[in-house]
Amino acid sequence: MTVEIAASAVVHESVIFEGSATVEAWCIVGAPSVGNDTPPTTVIGDGAVLRSHTVVYAGSVIGKNFVTGNKANIREACCIGDNVSVGTMAVVEHHVSLGHGVRLHSQSFVPEYCVLEDGVWLGPNAVLTNTRYPLSPEATTSPTPVRLCQGAIVGANATILPGVVVGRDSLVGAGSVVVEDVAEGTVVAGNPARFINEKAALPYGDREPS
């Protein structure tokens, strides 16, 4: 097991590496949240590559082969599966669940309590939301997170509004604003997003469904 940590990186004592890892310059791993003097354990699986300026807050459990782009930010208490990548300047807020094989591309945003199941693909600048009325009391007491079901694809610059469930193996077109649930295996696009086609009609070849 080899853990390579750049001289400028900060790795807190509560971090456990379960195998080899590369932590590049200026990363912070196991960062305590404000007011938490005793940060919980952070677990990072074998084969991790944390590119420069990545910040991983304390208390997350991360699987094997985790890869980040530069300046990725993962907040506390997240559960992240194997073979996940979080792109450059992407943000994952606290208490998020990312399944195996999830791909978050550059500058995407996943807010608190959202669930992304296995094989989900989130395009660059895509945004999930979790509160209908920002700065209202319900914003902190009753969030309504998004759920992206297994194999769902969300195109670049799409916005998914609070509480929406995007069905298994569905596709959300680039730039869409999704205001209601998306049925399994369908394609939606537009503002507001509307049904366009069945995903099976698109040229995905013989790719097995997720």
pLDDT, mean of residues 5-16: 98
pLDDT at position 129 = 98
Please name the fold of domain 1-101: UDP N-Acetylglucosamine Acyltransferase; domain 1 (2.160.10)
pLDDT at position 208 = 56
For the segment 163-180, what is each residue's pLDDT rounded down to a tens digit?
999 999 999 999 999 999
pLDDT at position 194 = 98
pLDDT at position 206 = 59
pLDDT at position 193 = 98
For the segment 27-54, what is each residue's pLDDT rounded down to a tens digit?
999 999 887 778 899 999 999 999 999 9
pLDDT at position 205 = 60
Contact status, residue 55 vs residue 42, Cβ threshold 8 Å: no
Side chain identity, residue 203: P
pLDDT above 50: residue 149: yes
pLDDT at position 207 = 56
pLDDT above 90: residue 120: yes
Contact status, residue 21 vs residue 38, Cβ threshold 8 Å: no
Side chain identity, residue 183: A
What one-character-per-residue DSSP string does 109-154 give? EE-TT-EE-TT-EE-TT-EE---SSTTSTHHHHS----EE-TT-EE
Q: Please say whether the dihedral angle defined by the alpha carbons of residues 72, 95, 63 and 174, taken in this order, is positive or negative.
A: negative
For the entire predicted model, the pTM comes to: 0.94
Residues forming CATH 2.160.10.10 domain(s) in the chain? 1-101, 108-205
If you average pLDDT over every residue of the chain, what do you get? 95
Superfamily of domain 108-205: Hexapeptide repeat proteins (2.160.10.10)
For the segment 47-60, what is each residue's pLDDT rounded down to a tens digit?
999 999 999 999 99
For the segment 64-110, what is each residue's pLDDT rounded down to a tens digit?
999 999 999 999 999 999 999 999 999 999 999 999 999 999 999 99
The percent of residues in the chain predicted with pLDDT above 90, rounded, is: 87
Side chain identity, residue 167: G
